[in-house]
Structures are given as C-alpha cells and as structure tokens.
Structure 1
Amino acid sequence: MYIPAQFAENRADVMHRLMHEHSLGTLVTLGEDGLQANHIPFEIVSDGSPFGRLQAHVARSNPVWREETQIESLIVFQGAQAYISPSLYETKKEHGKVVPTYNYMVVHAYGRLRAVDDPQWVHALLARLSARHEAGRAAPWSIDDAPAGFIDSLLSQIVGIEIEITRLQGKWKVSQNQPARNRASVEAGLREQGGEQSVAMAEAVALRAG
C-alpha cells in the first residue's frame, strides 16, 4: 500500500482499535486459481506478540482454509470514509485552487493462514463473537439459546482459521495535508452533513488536527 509519511499510522493499538470496530475484513489469498478475496468477520486477539493474531471461521466448503500456509495472506480492514467536496475547504473562497478527494482509514494485516479444524475451538470463538456483537441489545442472543444438537450440526460445517500477524500497515488519510483552516472547515462540514460515516470522519479529522 502506498503510504505518504503524513498519512502513516504506525501505532499497533490504534490499528487494533479500527480492526475491532470494523471487524469485517477482506481476506486476500493466492491459491491455485490465482488471487481470491473472502469477506469474513474477524476477532483481533492481543497475545503479547508485536501485532497479535486474527481468528475467524469459514464454511468447510470454502477452499480458503486449505490454501498453502507458506504463502502470506493479506487482510484489509476499512474504517470510516468520506468524499471531501472542494466546497468544504475554506480556501476555496480565497483562490479556488482546490479539488475533490476522498478521506479514509484503512489497515492492512499480513500473516500466514492456519486452519483450526477443532469444534471446541470454533465453538468458543462463536460464543465470543456473538457475545461481542450482541452486547448492548435489550435481549442479547447467546449461542446457548439454540439447541445443542443444532449448534453441533452447524459446527461440523465450518472450520476455524487463525493468522498470526507478522506485519501491520495503517493509513489515515484525514486531511492532514490541508492547512488548519481547511481542516476546521472540513470537520464542520462533515458534521453538518450528518450520517455515521461523515461524523466518524469529522472526529478523525479533529483528532489528527489536534
């Protein structure tokens, strides 16, 4: 990934936070049929290693878990993104020398994929994932709510995967290349636009401006 120095994010904890909050990753692998991309919800696990590890599950019928483990995989996590209109720049009023762009935050994680064909491991992963995503609901669903036999039959149809992360790259393109007055006007404009993505990007612009 091309990362100009001003857009680089090198803090593992910041990248982990994005991966946790935007956990649907794009897993890119190279197999016999060439490049393949699978969209999978991951769990980021901090285990004391420099970058942690990623855990997930896939359908047993998905060939990705049988891919050659000696070849590095790439997992892409996309955070907030927003189109930035030239009209959001304060300097447009002064000289008009502005053009549209796109702001975004993204993390690339690299590592070798390992299959975990263990029903107990997968059951524990599913319990953690469901508890995490159900948290905050008035009546959170638990894996224990479903009949055990039903869950067991589903477990036979999925396989766990785990990737020890060997490299992390973060790119936060959030108007750092603009003068302070443009960053302030972009933040204000995005907040005025409203919407989850725009507000999240406004907060990112404000945080980097500080």
Structure 2
Amino acid sequence: MYVPPAFRDDNIENIRSTISSARLANLITATAEGPLATPLPLFLDPTEGERGVLYGHLAKANPQWRAAPIGEALAIFMGPEAYVTPSWYATKQETEKVVPTWNYIAVHAYGPVEFFEDNERLLDVVTRLTNIHEGSRVTPWSVSDAPADFIGAQLRGIVGIRIPVTKFEGKRKMSQNRPLADRIGVVTGLAASQEPRDQEVSIMVPTLA
C-alpha cells in the first residue's frame, strides 16, 4: 500500500481498533495460478507473538487454501471512508486549484498463512469469532446452543486460517495535508451529510492548527 508520510499511522492501538471494527477483511494470497482473494471475518489475538496472530476460516470448497501461497499472505481491513468534494474547500474560492479525493482508514497485515483442519482448533476459532460478533447482542447466540453433532458436521466443511503477523501497514487519510480552512470545510460538509459513514468520518478530520 502506498502510504505518504502525512497519512502513515503506526499507532498499534489505532491498527488494532481498525481490525476489530472491520466487519469483513479480504484475505489475499499469491499462487502459481495467480492471486486469490476471499472476503471473510478475521480476528486478531494480540497476545500471541510479537505483533499478534490473525484467525478465521473459509469454506473447504474454496480453492484458495489448496493453492500453495507464494510468499506471505495479505489481509486488508478497511475503516471509515468518505468522498470529499472540492466544493468544501476554502481554497476553491481562492484559486480553483482543487480536485476531489477520498478520506479513509486502512490496515494491511502481512504474514505466513497456515490452513488447518484440526477439529479442536476449528471449534476454538469459530467459538471465539462468534463470541466477538454476538457479544453486543441482548441475547447472544453461542456455538454451544446448537447440537454438538450438527456443529461437528459444520466444522468438517471449513478450513481454519492462522496468520502470525510479521508487518502492519496503517494508513489514516483524513485531509491532514489540507490547510486548516479546507479541513474545517470538509468537516462541515461531511457532518451535514445524511450518510452515516460521512458523519463518522467528519469527526476524524483534524481541525487543530
């Protein structure tokens, strides 16, 4: 990922927050047949290794796990994003030398990928993943709510994923490169939008001189 210095974000708490907030990641592997990609939920266990370990699973029928990866895998996590019109810039009124852009947050995580079929490990992954996404519900569903033999059959249809992270790339592009008056215009414009994602981005644009 191309990350200009103004948008580089190496803050590990920001990176972990983006990963935990992302509903879906994209898992990409390079193979002899070409690049393969799967959208899927992943979670980071920060207690393992130097940078943490990503876990998830994919369908056993998915050919990605059978194609030997060339080099490391890449997991892409996207955070809040919004289109920015040049009409919001004070600079437009002054020079007209402005163009549209996009504000967004992204994290790329790299590491060697391991695919596994061990039942006990698979059960642990799906249980932890379920607990993460059910935790905020008033009445959370648990893997143990379903019959054990049914869950066992479901596990036979998936393959686990383990990626010890070797490198994170964090990018936080929130108009930091624009003059203060332009940033204030972006905040005002996004905050007035009826799109919840725009409103979310509006509070992330820095407005201190």
Q: Give the TM-score range, shorter chain.
A: over 0.9
Q: Verify the 8 A CA contact 2:32 2:70 in the aligned structure 1.
A: no
Q: Verify the 8 A CA contact 1:23 1:43 in the aligned structure 2.
A: no
Helix, strand or coil at the partner of 1:50: coil
2:32 maps to: 32
Q: Within the alignment, does 1:184 sit opposite 2:184 as a pair?
A: yes
Deviation at 1:172, TM superposition (A): 1.0
Question: Which structure has more strand as a fraction of its residues?
Answer: 1
Deviation at 1:160, TM superposition (A): 0.7
Deviation at 1:187, TM superposition (A): 1.1
1:201 maps to: 201
- For 2:189 and 2:85, the matched residues in 1 are separated by 9
Query: Following superposition of structure 1 onto structure 2, how do residues 5-84 of structure 1 map, counting pairs within 5 Å?
Result: 5-47=5-47, 49-68=49-68, 71-84=71-84
Query: Partner letter of residue 40 of structure 2?
Result: I
- For 1:13 and 1:69, the matched residues in 2 are separated by 29
Unaligned runs of 5+ in 1: none
Q: Verify the 8 A CA contact 2:18 2:79 in the aligned structure 1.
A: yes
Deviation at 1:15, TM superposition (A): 0.9
Q: Verify the 8 A CA contact 1:174 1:204 in the aligned structure 2.
A: yes
Helix, strand or coil at the partner of 2:190: helix
- Offset from partner CA, 1:69-125 (integer Å, 9 cap, x none): 562111111111111001111232333222111111111111110122211111122
- For 2:82 and 2:169, the matched residues in 1 are separated by 20
Q: How many residues are aligned here?
A: 209
- Offset from partner CA, 1:166-185 (integer Å, 9 cap, x none): 11111111101101111112
Q: Verify the 8 A CA contact 1:58 1:158 in the aligned structure 2.
A: yes
Task: Give the TM-score normalised by the residue count of structure 1.
Answer: 0.92
- For 2:70 and 2:16, the matched residues in 1 are separated by 24
Q: Verify the 8 A CA contact 1:76 1:106 in the aligned structure 2.
A: yes
Deviation at 1:139, TM superposition (A): 2.2
Q: Verify the 8 A CA contact 2:26 2:40 in the aligned structure 1.
A: yes
2:102 maps to: 102
Q: Verify the 8 A CA contact 1:70 1:112 in the aligned structure 2.
A: no
The 3 A distance-change label for structure 1 pair 25 and 92 is same
Helix, strand or coil at the partner of 1:121: helix
The 3 A distance-change label for structure 1 pair 182 and 36 is same
- For 1:56 and 1:67, the matched residues in 2 are separated by 17
1:92 maps to: 92
Deviation at 1:67, TM superposition (A): 3.5
1:166 maps to: 166
- For 2:19 and 2:196, the matched residues in 1 are separated by 17
Q: Verify the 8 A CA contact 2:31 2:69 in the aligned structure 1.
A: no
- For 1:146 and 1:34, the matched residues in 2 are separated by 39
Q: Which runs of 4+ in 1 moved over 3 A?
A: none
- Root-mean-square deviation (CA, aligned residues, Å) is 1.8
